[in-house]
Amino acid sequence: MIDVLFVEDEAKLALIVSESLETKHFRVRHCTSGSEGWNSFIHSRPDIVILDVMMPQMDGFTLASKIRQQDSDVPVIFLTARGTTEDVLHGFKLGGNDYLKKPFDIDELIARMEALLKLAKKYHPEEELSIGKYTLNPIKHILHLDGAHIQLSFRESELLKRLYERRNQVVYRREIVSEFWNNERFVTGRSLDVFISRLRKYLKEDPSIQIVNIRGLGYKLMVV
């Protein structure tokens, strides 16, 4: 199921859109302000983001640029009544992927969402993740290579999955640590490093995939 973050302060419109999307089997998280949207984004990591531009507190453009600092891939669609070319250009410049002028047809929104999701390859309906020459079954925590397979531990598998879901972009150290180890004394803990070390060992048969460290920030699973 596709997770949608939908930030829109007009209650009436929001309701219609949310319901339509849910009919089409999207899971919608609706927020009514930019700052609420930002919280939700950090917490839920949606597959696609739909932002109203004009909102109280934090507008859609501001939220979009905050999101882009964190995640350079998640598709972002702007919705707005103010459809001047300047606005559209500004939206794209901030890293938006589409821009719809209100009033819009809900089916067109869905078509545009699906087009972006297809491009961003966020549809992974299949259970198994294909990581270079390897295949990871994230349910059973088994890593396959050719005929052989390695039984990973829970944390090994979760960590690899997380890296894979955000392949080719940085996964922040503090984020992983706070999520896996409940945020305590993450200054000294070196468990993450140890797990990374193990994953690298498992993955060394395929040089086209690499877990690269970005000093001070985190790690990046690079897949060609």
List contacts with its own copies (CB under 8 A): 73, 85, 88-89, 92-93, 96-98, 105, 107-108, 111-112, 114-116, 119-123, 125, 127, 139-141, 153-155, 168, 207, 210, 212-215, 222, 224
Residues 126-155 interacting with DNA (rule: CB under 7 A): 151, 153-155
Q: Residue 77's CB: how many other CB atoms inside 10 A?
A: 22
Strand spans (E) along 66-207: 76-80, 98-101, 129-131, 134-137, 142-145, 148-151, 170-172
> Could you tell me the smallest distance in angstroms from the CB atom of residue 175 to DNA?
12
Region of 51 please: left (phi>0), alpha (psi -120 to 50) or beta: beta
- Judged by beta carbon, residue 100 or residue 203, the one nearer DNA is 203
> Could you tell me the smallest distance in angstroms from the CB atom of residue 78 to DNA?
34
Specify the DSSP class assigned to residue 204.
G
Q: Which of 107, 179, 193, 205 binds DNA (CB under 7 A)?
A: 193
151 binds, among DNA, its own copies, none (CB under 5 to 8 A by kind): DNA
In angstroms, the CA 23 to CA 17 distance is 10
Q: Which residues pair with 2 in a beta bridge?
A: 26
Q: Which residues bind DNA (CB under 7 A)?
A: 151, 153-156, 173, 181, 188-191, 193-198, 200-201, 213-218
